Amino acid sequence: MIEYAFKGSKRYWSWVIILLLIIGAGVGTGVYQWFKGLGITGMGRDIPWGFYIAQFTFLVGVAASAVMVVLPYYLHHYKTFARMTVLGEFVAIAACIMCMTFIFVDMGRPDRILNVFLHPTPNSLMFWDTVVLFGYLVLNSVIAWTTFRAERQDITPPRWIKPFIYLSIPWAFSIHTVTAFLYSGLEGRPFWMSAILAPRFLASAFAAGPALVVVACLIVRKYTRYDPGVDAIRALGKVIAYAMTANFFFIGLELFTGLYSDIPHHVHHFEYLFLGHGGHAGLVPWIWTSVLLGLIGLVMLIVPKTRNNLSTLGFASVLVFVSLWIDKGMAMVIVGFIPTPLGYYLDYHPTLPELTISAGVYAMGLLIITALYKMAITVRERDLYPGG
């Protein structure tokens, strides 16, 4: 099947070459970072985690969100998602690989990565995150490959795959929960130390991930002869609407607890995020953009007319995705560090090398999605239009 990814139109190959060029730039900059150290990034003593870990956090959500198509299809036999499920699983596979790469480029000594397995440490959430993420990648790869191969051969998938599919459902929740625990279990960082962080992560993930799948499906519809199904895309619109509502509700809960209790070290983080402090306001324009885009997107998704129209649904999905990317991929991790444990305010600016490496990782993920989708679509186009 994989050979289908190596045959394509000019447009397909130009897209692949663009991605390869970005990956090349990322790898080159990665080598530079390896020789110079992480000092080439915008991170520092007071902001020890930055853009890389934020992208990791966001993408774990995207990976987990595949469960939003898997669960209705396999658990409730929601046939509308039949032609979409594998597309969701492919996004999860790519997201998992991107997550691992972001962790890898964030390590000071990537040459010692095996120490995590040579000295396993169950009391460290980092250890568990590695385990569940790797497990999820294996699960999704096996499930997607087995079910898709069966589909191609027009047979029902083998029975042994069922337990793995059922296991993948709680597993999806676990990867994002453990990722939230990475943050919420730290007594020294009050902004994150909230029991609602894990549900909040899940809510934002179940909005952002399906939003990405909607956009991907619309692109597939436009440029190929394969149609994942209008009803399926609309149904995903509903999923995004519910998840986004929950996300805003949870943020509201955070704001209430933090601000009404008026405990200084809770208030300070929110103050920096939304208003800035003493000339430091690096995240203020971002977070308001995020709030605005998110609200517009949510309204468009709640109103049935704009939700059911595919072009407005696509637009709303983009708004939601960008809003949540800013919220998690920019703001959430950084605010936890400002003010610092010693009470200082400062701003974080990712550097050009840091952004180049990140772009390279994203391009790699997109390339994986492209190749996997190409494969799936070629197979299905043949089924739908035999003889070309």
Partner 1 sequence: MDEDRRKFLKLAGVAALGIGSASLVKTVNGKERRSGKFPQALEGKRWAMVIDLAKCQEHEGCTLCMNACNQVHNIPHFDDPRHEIKWIWKEPFENALPNQEEDFLEQGVSKGPAVVLCNHCERPPCVRVCPTQATFKREDGIVMMDMHRCIGCRYCIVACPYGSRSFNWQDPHLGLGDINPGYPTRMRGVVEKCIFCEERLAKGKLPACVEACPYGALTFGDLDDPGSKVRKLLKSRYAVRRKVELGTRPGVFYLV
- Residues in contact with partner 1 by the rule CB under 8 A: 36-39, 43-49, 103, 106-110, 112-113, 115-116, 118-119, 121, 123-127, 130, 182, 185-189, 264-265, 337, 340-344
Residue 10 Cβ, how far from partner 1 at the closest point, in Å? 43
Alpha carbon of residue 6 to chain centroid:
27
C-beta of 130 vs 168, nearer to partner 1: 130
The answer to whether 116 and 126 are in contact (CB under 8 A) is yes
Residue 269 Cβ, how far from partner 1 at the closest point, in Å? 14
C-beta of 66 vs 125, nearer to partner 1: 125
Residue 118 Cβ, how far from partner 1 at the closest point, in Å? 8
C-beta of 14 vs 115, nearer to partner 1: 115
> What CA–CA distance (Å, rounded) separates 35 from 29?
10
> What CA–CA distance (Å, rounded) separates 165 from 172?
11
> What CA–CA distance (Å, rounded) separates 33 from 164?
39
Region of residue 267 (left: phi > 0; alpha: psi -120 to 50; beta: else): alpha
Residue 55 Cβ, how far from partner 1 at the closest point, in Å? 15
Residue 317 tokens read as: 């999905």
Residue 210 Cβ, how far from partner 1 at the closest point, in Å? 30
Angle formed by the axes of helices 51-64 and 197-223, nearest 10°:
70
Burial 238-273 (b: 16+ CB within 10 A, else e): ebbbebbebbbebbeebeeebeeeeeeebebbbbbb
C-beta of 36 vs 382, nearer to partner 1: 36
C-beta of 14 vs 340, nearer to partner 1: 340
Residue whose pair of structure tokens reads 């929110």 in the numeric block: 270
> For residue 83, what is the DSSP state?
T
The SS3 assignment for 239 reads helix
Residue 109 Cβ, how far from partner 1 at the closest point, in Å? 4
Residue whose pair of structure tokens reads 């299905």 in the numeric block: 380
> For residue 189, what is the DSSP state?
-
Residue 47 Cβ, how far from partner 1 at the closest point, in Å? 8
C-beta of 42 vs 210, nearer to partner 1: 42
C-beta of 127 vs 242, nearer to partner 1: 127
Residue 89 Cβ, how far from partner 1 at the closest point, in Å? 28
C-beta of 122 vs 163, nearer to partner 1: 122
> What CA–CA distance (Å, rounded) separates 251 from 255?
6
Backbone angles phi, psi at 76, to 5 degrees: -110, 5
Residue 294 tokens read as: 């998110």
C-beta of 60 vs 208, nearer to partner 1: 60
The answer to whether 359 and 22 are in contact (CB under 8 A) is yes
C-beta of 46 vs 271, nearer to partner 1: 46
Residue 358 Cβ, how far from partner 1 at the closest point, in Å? 17
Residue 280 forms beta bridges with which residues?
A: 277
Burial 173-195 (b: 16+ CB within 10 A, else e): bbbbbbbbbbbbeeeebbbbebe
> What CA–CA distance (Å, rounded) separates 305 from 353?
44
Residue 52 Cβ, how far from partner 1 at the closest point, in Å? 11
